């Protein structure tokens, strides 16, 4: 193998899509998946490529700096794509210490290990890269605005014909950080450490901030797979507040393509925003999911609307996120490949076609797969 790319959190939702893409696209590069296998990690996400010659999995905790040093040194890692993170906002509210430990100290551990190893090499940082995956939530929140003489939503010139925006402001790469949840605060802190290592030590780094992802293999605590599963099981669909919060949605495979492009063509020291100009109010999103699931399961469209249950809003719930990804489009030529209606159709079909995956997650049986795997080693 010519190079070794370490992908942290590669057994998770976004990570498994990135691992699969890189293993398939770069057969001469060793793709090293390092994952602690917490509740959100699932090696069955990668069962289709687990026997490839250029794929290797290591169970390890990124918070352990000595273990990260050993792994990077022994595998002669030339690039890192850092995805491992605690990411569920509700969990961060009840357990902020875990988020600080994993997201901040874990990132620092990987940075220090990469710096130490790469500085021992004759070429040092040449052709090396530490790619840090972050979130749009570090920027805080945008207001939902109404254009003069009109009603939100309204079209944005940066979007496609079918997309609408709920304001004229978007998060750009220079937007000041203003995190509002323990999760976003921990990610903001990790971003600052990545930039500090670039500015202080010259470590070649890139940061990307992406909007909400959706698609196959997403852990069913997140909104879209949770609601698909609840509709199928005739369970309530809990909606915070009035469902008026707005999010920008990005199909996970489009995100993986962007990571691939930025990793190979992006400029070290830069930040790139990744989004789809694809804003949806939560309530409209939920009704679209309901309509799609009902249609694909042979029920009248919208017949599951009665499952919508409005609940007390969570603390610090940001009103609107909206990513401006024109820098990425302009400089590297990336753009999303799917409209949301296409993406949600593919996503719902995947969950309908893979009930055993969902059942193993909801029952907890998927974790037995790991236990048996390590017993057999």
Task: List active site positions.
Answer: 136-137, 183
How far apart CA 112 and CA 299 sit, in angstroms, is: 55
Which three-class secondary structure string do you get for the chain? CCEEEEEECCCCHHHHHHHHHHHHHCCCEEEEEEECCCCCCCHHHHCCCCCCCCEEEEECCCCCHHHHHHHHHHCCCCEEEECCCCCCHHHHHHCHHHHHHHHHHHHHHHHHHHHHHHCCCCCCCCCCEEEEEEEHHHHCCECCCCCCCCCCCECCCCCCCCCCECCCCCECCCCCCCCCCHHHHHHHHHHHHHHHHHHHHCCCEEEEEECEEECCCCCCCCHHHHHHHHHHCCCCEEEECCCCCEEEEEEHHHHHHHHHHHHHHCCCCCEEEECCCCEEEHHHHHHHHHHHHHHHCCCCCCCCHHHEEEECCCCCCCCECCECCHHHHHHHCCCCCCCHHHHHHHHHHHHHHCHHHHHHHHHCCHHHHHHHHHHCC
Strand 271-274 and strand 205-210: pairing?
parallel
How far apart CA 256 and CA 260 sit, in angstroms, is: 6
Strand 237-240 and strand 308-311: pairing?
parallel
């Amino acid at each position: 193998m010519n190079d070794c790319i370490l992908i942290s959190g590669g057994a998770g939702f976004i990570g498994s899509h990135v691992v699969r893409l890189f293993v398939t696209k770069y057969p001469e590069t060793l793709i090293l998946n390092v994952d602690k296998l917490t509740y959100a990690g699932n090696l069955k996400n990668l069962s289709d490529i687990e026997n490839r010659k250029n794929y290797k999995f290591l169970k390890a905790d990124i918070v352990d700096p000595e273990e990260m040093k050993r792994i990077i040194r022994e595998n002669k890692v030339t690039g890192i794509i850092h995805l491992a993170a605690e990411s569920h906002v509700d969990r961060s509210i009840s357990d902020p210490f875990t988020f600080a430990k994993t997201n901040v100290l874990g990132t620092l551990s990987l940075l220090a290990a990469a710096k130490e190893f790469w500085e021992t090499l004759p070429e040092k940082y040449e052709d090396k890269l530490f790619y840090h995956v972050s979130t749009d939530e570090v920027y805080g929140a945008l207001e939902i605005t109404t254009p003069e003489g009109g009603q939100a939503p309204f079209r944005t010139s940066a979007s496609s014909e079918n997309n609408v925006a709920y304001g004229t402001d978007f998060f750009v790469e220079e937007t000041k950080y203003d995190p509002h949840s323990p999760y976003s605060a921990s990610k903001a802190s990790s971003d600052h450490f990545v930039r500090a290592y670039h500015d202080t030590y010259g470590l070649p780094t890139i940061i990307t901030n992406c909007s909400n992802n959706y698609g196959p293999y997403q852990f069913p605590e997140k909104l879209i797979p949770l609601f698909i599963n609840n509709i199928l099981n005739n369970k309530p669909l809990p909606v915070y507040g009035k469902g008026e919060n707005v999010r920008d949605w990005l199909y996970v495979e489009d995100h993986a393509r962007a990571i691939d492009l930025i990793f190979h063509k992006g400029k070290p020291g830069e930040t790139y925003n990744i989004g789809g100009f694809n804003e949806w109010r939560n309530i409209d999103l939920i009704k679209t999911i309901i309509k799609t699931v009902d249609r694909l399961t042979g029920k009248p469209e919208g017949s599951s609307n009665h499952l919508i249950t409005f609940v007390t809003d969570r603390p610090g719930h940001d009103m609107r996120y909206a990513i401006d990804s024109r820098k990425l489009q302009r400089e590297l030529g990336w753009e999303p490949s799917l409209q949301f209606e296409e993406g949600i159709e593919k996503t719902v079909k995947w969950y309908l076609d893979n009930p055993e995956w969902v059942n193993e997650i909801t029952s907890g049986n998927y974790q037995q797969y790991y236990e048996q795997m390590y017993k057999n080693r």
